[in-house]
Amino acid sequence: MSVSYELYHTFYYVGKYQSFTKAAEFLGKNQPNITRSMNRLEEDLDCKLLNRTNRGISLTEEGQLLFEHISNAFEQITLGERKLSEAKNLQKGQISIGYSIGANDLLLYNELLPVLQNYQQLYPKIHIRFLSQSTPNAISSVRDGLIDFAIITSTKLPNDIEEHTIKSFQDILIAGQKYSYLYGQSLSIKELKKYPLVGLSQNTETFQFYSQFFANHHLSFEPDIEVPTATQIFPFVIKNFGLGFVNSEYAIEVLGYGDVFQIPLKETIPLRHISLIHHKTKPLSRPASVLLNLLHTTSGNRIS
């Protein structure tokens, strides 16, 4: 059965006002058109929906049944249209952002929070939700439409995912005072096997990065201590649980305190990237699109 949406639309207001005249006034139509539409709907459904008397109209039992279902549908449509209008005008809405547990938290503090603060000042009614995820889960969430976009350590991506580089960085090797006898020395990656290592957990892209780095030198990467986030490597190294690879830019402050020191590595650690990803073909919501554009254009955030 194929019935015109317009007929149901007219029926909803006829049933709501129990009047052809009031329905016609609301819809901006003349009464004969409303009458013809209701006659057509009854013909299409092969069912009497309205009782017509000199006193006016009322719904039949079948008409009341249909009206209850039509009402629910149109109320949801109206609510959807209102929420869509609010989202388009950035009066309400939500942005969901995946944040890879392998990405350094200090990137969030130093690079992204100023942009988010500016965004919230412009659009205070938009709710921003961060979800801590592994890189593979963040990619899957973007592909499935569960989040608007994600911030991850760069990795090989599916063809339907678009990537924008936020920041490039270089890791360094640091150690605590227990290993002060190594100060001024450089170590090879093979020599690192003599010392305990602190690293991220196996479900992170960072762990996979170092597994590949070690494998390229015919070695296995097996941290003695695994921690959930990059910033947690620092306290474990300071407390002498082992040596650790950390972002050089964010290590500067910690190195200045004198609790840890850098150990030059003879092999070159490949440059790494932190990226913002979103789906290539699934359209972003209006709030998410505006935030992405702000991240693109804000000075100091080198998204490319």
Are 84 and 60 contained in the same domain? yes
Of 2-11, 56-65, 112-121, which one has max mean pLDDT?
56-65
Q: What is the pLDDT of residue 225?
A: 96
pLDDT value of residue 263: 96
Mean pLDDT lowest for which of 15-19, 84-88, 297-301?
297-301
**Looking at residues 95-103, what average pLDDT do you find?**
77
pLDDT at residue number 302: 46
Q: What's the pLDDT score for residue 273?
A: 85
Domain boundary among 52, 71, 88: 88
pLDDT band at 300 (very low <50, low <70, confident <90, very high): very low
Q: Which two tokens stand for residue 181?
A: 């006898």
Residue pointed to by tokens 């990795």: 155
Q: Is 304 part of a structural domain of the chain?
A: no
Could you tell me if 151 and 292 lie in one domain? yes
CATH of the domain at 121: 3.40.190.10
Structure tokens at 165: 């580089």
Residue 113 domain flag: yes
Using alpha carbons, list the distances in angstroms from residue 113 to 45, 93, 105, 185, 248.
57, 19, 11, 38, 20
Query: Which CATH number do you get for residue 10?
Result: 1.10.10.10
Please report, rounded to a whole number, the percentage of residues in the chain having pLDDT higher than 70.
Answer: 91
Exposed/middle/buried for residue 237 (C-beta within 10 Å: 0-12, 13-18, 19+): buried
Residue-wise pLDDT for 132-143, tens only, equals: 887 888 899 999
pLDDT at 106 over 80: no
* 182-208 tens-digit pLDDT: 999 999 999 999 999 999 888 788 898
Q: Are residues 206 and 257 in the same domain?
A: yes
**57 within some domain:** yes
pLDDT at 132: 81
Domain boundary among 58, 88, 118: 88
Q: 226-266: per-residue pLDDT in tens?
A: 998 888 899 999 999 999 999 888 788 788 888 999 999 99
**Taking each helix axis from N to C terminus, what angle separates 20-27 and 31-45, rounded to the nearest 10 degrees?**
110
Say whether both 178 and 248 belong to one domain.
yes
Domain extent, residue 116, equals 93-168+273-297
Specify whether the CB–CB gap between 294 and 118 falls below 8 A.
yes
pLDDT of residue 85: 67
As for how many domains the chain has, the answer is: 3
Mark whether 135 and 222 lie in a shared domain. Answer: no
What digits encode the pLDDT tens for the residues 131-181? Answer: 888 788 889 999 988 899 998 888 889 999 999 888 888 899 999 999 999
Distance, in Å, from the CA atom of 248 to the CA atom of 186, rounded to the nearest integer, reads 16
255 and 266 in a single domain? The answer is yes
Domain check: are 197 and 179 in the same one?
yes
- The per-residue pLDDT for 89 is 62
Let me know if residue 210 belongs to a domain.
yes
Q: Verify that 68 and 110 share a domain, yes or no.
A: no
The predicted structure's pLDDT at residue 101: 60
Instruction: Give percent of the chain above pLDDT 90.
Output: 45
Mean pLDDT of the chain, nearest integer: 86
Taking residues 105-114, report their average pLDDT: 71
Asked if residue 235 belongs to a domain, the reply is: yes
Is residue 11 scored above 80 in pLDDT? yes
Check residue 104 and give its pLDDT.
57
pLDDT number for residue 299: 40
